Structure 1
Amino acid sequence: MEYFEKTINIDEPVENIYSVIANINHYPDFLPYCISTTIMSIDNDIITARINFDFYRMKISICTKNKNTKNESIQMKLIDGPFSKFNAVWLFSETTSSSTQIKYSMEFTVLNPLIALLIKKNINTFIEKFIEAFRRQIKSQRN
């Protein structure tokens, strides 16, 4: 099993950050490698969604059940995808009225050895690109 964790601070109110990260429908507009998303169901604070990626011409689709706690957390559990196990959590902590700490963690086991190698070799690059894309999107929402 692989584990990854990243904590960053962004000079934005928690509400702005949470609204961008929770808005799965807009991921294809700004998130690298994301080619489409589908909201399968919404039941109060539980959202089931599919996100489709194209990593270097390798199509990957992941479906998760997400428990959203507004401005606090998003907890993701695997329904199906290239993983035998996948859990991820976004935690949002307001440090001041205009600054937020974000912690993203995930643990996963990949079924396909080729995808496992791709992810393992590039996980830091992927996550850095995702975080930077979220930062830019959050900033653009402000303007």
Structure 2
Amino acid sequence: MFELVNDVASYPKFLKWCRSSKVLNESATEMTAELEVAWKILHKVFSTQNTLVEGESIQLELLDGPFESMHGDWNFKRLRDDACKITMEIEFEFKSSISNMVFSAIFSQICSSLMDSFIKRADEIYG
């Protein structure tokens, strides 16, 4: 599952709200990525610096975009060879109070749909 979440370039294939994604820079322990999100009236582009611990965690920190702040954590706990427990937390605040009022609920819906989307993707790829 770590590999699926870390495969940012594939996001537009299975995340209906992800119009485009780019890996700007990548090493074994870090990735800089850019996402273009378009859903309902929300259309935003943002970039993050992701700290990677192979098979264990991905931490996201905002680099640029419409947010005052954004931080996310994905954690992967191996249960068996074919199973793991995944937890995800994302905290964000838009730069303007108007954007917060208009877009927070939509972005929260997007964040809430993430886990289901990755589970469906895993079923497609791994069966």
The two structures share one fold, judged by TM-score above 0.5 = yes
Cα distance in 2 for residues equivalent to 1:109 and 1:127 = 13
Counterpart AA for 2:52: N
Tell which has more relative contact order, 1 or 2 (C-alpha 8 A, sep 6+).
1
2:93 aligns with one of 105, 109, 126: 109
Q: Which runs of 5+ in 1 are unaligned?
A: 1-16
**Secondary structure of 1:101 counterpart:** strand
Cα distance in 2 for residues equivalent to 1:58 and 1:122 = 7
1:79-98 matches, within 5 Å, as 79-98=63-82
Which residue of structure 1 aligns with residue 5 of structure 2?
Answer: 21
Task: Describe the shift of the 1:112–1:20 C-alpha distance in structure 2 as closer, same or farther (beyond 3 A).
Answer: same
Which residue of structure 2 aligns with residue 14 of structure 1?
Answer: none
Offset at residue 123 of structure 1 (A)? 5.0
Given the alignment of the two structures, is residue 132 of structure 1 paired with residue 119 of structure 2, yes or no? Answer: no
Provide the aligned length of Structure 1 versus Structure 2. Answer: 127
Cα distance in 2 for residues equivalent to 1:52 and 1:78 = 14
Root mean square deviation of aligned Cα: 1.7
Which residue of structure 2 aligns with residue 121 of structure 1?
Answer: 105
Query: Where does structure 1 differ by over 6 angstroms across 4 or more consecutive aligned residues?
Result: none
Cα distance in 2 for residues equivalent to 1:105 and 1:90 = 7
Task: Describe the shift of the 1:21–1:142 C-alpha distance in structure 2 as closer, same or farther (beyond 3 A).
Answer: same
Which residue of structure 1 aligns with residue 61 of structure 2?
Answer: 77
